[in-house]
Amino acid sequence: MKNLFRSLLALILALTMLLGAASCAAADGEKSANIAVTSAVDTLNPLRTDATEIVKYATSLVFLPLVELNADLEFVPQLAESITTDDNLTFTIKLRDDAVWSDGTPVTSRDVEFTLLLITSPECFYAWLSQNIIVGTDDNTGLAPQGATSLEGVKIVDEKTLTVTAKWPVALYTFENILGRYLFPLPEHVLGDIPRDQLLTHEWFFNPTVISGPYFVEKYDPNHYVYYVANENYFQGAPIIKRLNMNVVDPAQVLAGLQAGEIDLVQPTTGSLLLEDYEAVNALSSVKGVKSTPVTNQCIFFNTQKVTDVRIRQAIACGLDRQTILDGLVLGYGEIVDAFLCSASPYYSEELGVTVYDPARAAELVKAAKADGASTDLVWYVNSADSTFVNASAYIAATLHEIGLNIEVKTVELPMLMEVAGSGEFDVLTVEYTLAPVDPYTDMAWLLSEGGWTHYATADTAANLSLTQTSTDQDEVRKAYLAVNREVQTNVPMISCYIVSKLGVVSNRLINAHPDVFGTFINVHEWDIQ
């Protein structure tokens, strides 16, 4: 009866969601498609872009980034034709000659400079893009002087070319990943006269009238949907699908929506199917399930300022039966690695090996640490929307109890989890973390720092991470990443519970769409309905 009730409830919820989507479709039969996402779209304002993939991709349908990663993990042009450097200090951004705003005005280097001025200004500052690397900003905060109308490190060469100079060496792949993928240039000729202190919350971003991407926002409710309508003046070609509906649904609703034929796409990092529904989805004749590149890391982060005894952290590392969790709860959709790097990364090395499951050694470590006064009581925060790891956390708490640790699991919604992570008020927290395999530096350098979630920083880690940014010898870079990951494996500021290979889904009626971790939306204007 419980299963029947669950199925009926999911179907009702899915139909309710889909009726809402249908209400936005045009009556004249123009083509539309529905995308299911399973997290709130907290903002569409490029000045407030955060670490979540859902916000990035929902925003990039309206405002293009400079470059994007494709499914082959290559940086490809979006607004920029190219980003180059000769010294890893000064980067030349050449915009596409054909890049124009929806009103026909060319996208220019001045628009990029304008946006960089906004994201470094005290009024619009939102610390996410490592703004402090740019010459002319504060080394610690990344802020430019109040009222700045130019940045020392940003120079306009011509209408379609500008340079950005960094204070210290930055690898090209890192620059492309942070400022290339996450900077969404804004139209200065539209927003230039609006006071900066109004832009973070300005209503214009709910229905922007001048855009660079393939779709306008037609209607937006952060917790329920984003409805898009085609930009007929999109410089890469008017989208074939005229209406795109991004619906926020519970993971339990996705299967019913696919069965009803009312969900056309589930992209692996923005929409999550329940693992127990994978088999049923793969059995559907109306859709294709796509096993994505194993990239998303189910990270277990320690606050090393609270869990100070390394033996407690080591005990958890060797007391986790990760293979059983992967096989039993994740159904084998993934892989087991240590530390940060997945096998898809060009810097992954099998030399690191994997920590062996050894509960006897774990118990000895806990016993020794406890004898020296270490606390064995830990509060562990988990994302309540991640049903797989919520189940895994119960198993983990039980197995760690057997080695002498008392784990209190607290399940909270993702926004609260991020708040807890930022405040440092946790012992342990688990969150899915998608590190770009081609640029592990950006996230590792932050996470392994005094200000990062782990509060773990050493001179050796800093030196090796710095080497990844200065060296052009890929073997040397690979060895530096291996050294950092060995240190993480030994001192355990974080554990990779598993790397998940999520299931993406595309309906048979949606052609030219390929759901994967990267590159799904690059060709959205070429998607079609058959």
39 within some domain: yes
Pairwise CA distance, residues 187 & 213, whole Å: 12
Q: Are residues 167 and 303 in the same domain?
A: no
Write out the residue range of the structural domain in which residue 219 sits. 30-46+213-290+503-529
Last residue of a domain, one of 149, 169, 197: 197
Region for residue 492 given its phi and psi (left: phi exceeds 0; alpha: psi -120 to 50; beta: otherwise) = left
What per-residue confidence (pLDDT) applies to 110? 98
For residue 9, tell me if it sits in a domain: no
Query: 25: Cβ–Cβ under 8 A, 6 or more apart, which residues?
Result: 32, 243, 245
Q: Phi/psi of residue 176, each to 5°?
A: -65, -35
How far is 482 from 379, CA to CA, in rounded Å?
Answer: 30
For residue 287 the two structure tokens come to: 């859709």
pLDDT tens by residue, 436-470: 899 999 899 999 999 999 999 999 999 999 999 99
Confidence at residue 458, expressed as pLDDT on a 0 to 100 scale? 96
pLDDT at 409 over 60: yes
Task: Compute the distance between CA of residue 289 and CA of residue 424 in angstroms, rounded to an integer.
Answer: 38
pLDDT surpasses 90 at 130: no
- Residues 227 and 120 placed together within one structural domain of the fold: no
Residues 6+ apart with CB under 8 A from 297: 340, 342, 432, 433, 434, 435, 496, 499, 500
Question: Given its phi and psi angles, is residue 443 left (phi above 0), alpha (psi -120 to 50 degrees) or beta?
Answer: alpha
Q: Total domain count for the chain?
A: 3
Same domain, 342 and 467: yes
Which residue reads 């940060």 in tokens? 340
- Asked if pLDDT for residue 386 goes beyond 90, the answer is no
The pLDDT value given to residue 5:
37
Residue 169 and residue 131 share a domain: yes
Q: Please, is 429 exposed, middle or buried when counting C-beta atoms within 10 Å of its C-beta (0-12, 13-18, 19+)?
A: buried
Do 395 and 428 belong together in one domain?
Answer: yes
Residues 414-432, mean pLDDT to the nearest whole number: 93
What is the enclosing helix (H) or strand (E) of 23? Answer: helix 2-24
| DSSP code of residue 355 | P
List the strands of the sheet with 265-266, edge to edge: 215-221, 225-230, 243-248, 32-37, 265-266, 503-507, 287-291
Residue 261 gets the label, from left (phi > 0), alpha (psi -120 to 50) or beta, of left
Task: Give tens-digit pLDDT for 209-251.
Answer: 999 999 999 999 999 999 999 999 999 999 999 999 999 999 9
State the pLDDT confidence band at 415, using cuts at 50, 70 and 90: confident
Please give the pLDDT value at position 442.
87
pLDDT at 95 over 70: yes
- Would residue 202 count as lying in a domain? no
Report H helices in 372-473: 387-402, 414-423, 440-447, 459-470
Average pLDDT over residues 144-156: 95
410 lies in the same domain as 516: no
Supply the CATH number for residue 343's domain. 3.10.105.10
The CATH number of the domain where 157 resides is what? 3.90.76.10
Q: Is residue 359 part of a domain?
A: yes
Backbone φ/ψ region at 319: left (φ over 0), alpha (ψ -120 to 50), beta: alpha
Same domain, 468 and 355: yes
**Terminal CA-to-CA distance of the chain, rounded, Å?**
39
Q: Is the pTM of this model over 0.85?
A: no
Identity of the amino acid at 77: P
Same domain membership, residue 146 and residue 34 = no
Calculate mean pLDDT across residues 117-144. 88
If pLDDT is split at 50, 70 and 90, which confidence band does 431 have? very high
**Shared domain check, 269 and 218:** yes
State whether 362 and 461 are in the same domain.
yes
Helices 359-371 and 387-402 pack at an angle, to 10 degrees, of 70
Length of the chain: 530
Per-residue pLDDT tens digits for 8-17? 444 444 444 4
Instruction: State the pLDDT at residue 28.
Output: 57
Question: Residue 20 domain-assigned?
Answer: no
Long-range contacts of 124-128, Cβ-Cβ distance < 8 Å, separation of 24 or more: 124/47, 124/196, 124/197, 124/199, 124/200, 126/47, 126/48, 126/49, 126/200, 128/49, 128/50, 128/51, 128/182
- 252 located within any domain: yes
Average pLDDT taken over every residue of the chain? 92
Name residue, tokens 């000769």: 86
Domain boundary among 141, 169, 197: 197
Same domain, 343 and 372: yes
Residue 93 lies in a domain: yes
Residue of 240, 334, 261, 229 lying closest to 505 (CA atoms): 261
pLDDT higher than threshold 80 for residue 22: no
Residue 525: its pLDDT value, please? 98
- Among 131, 166, 197, residue at a domain's last position: 197
Residue type, 149: T
Residue 349: inside a domain = yes
Domain identity same for 71 and 151: yes
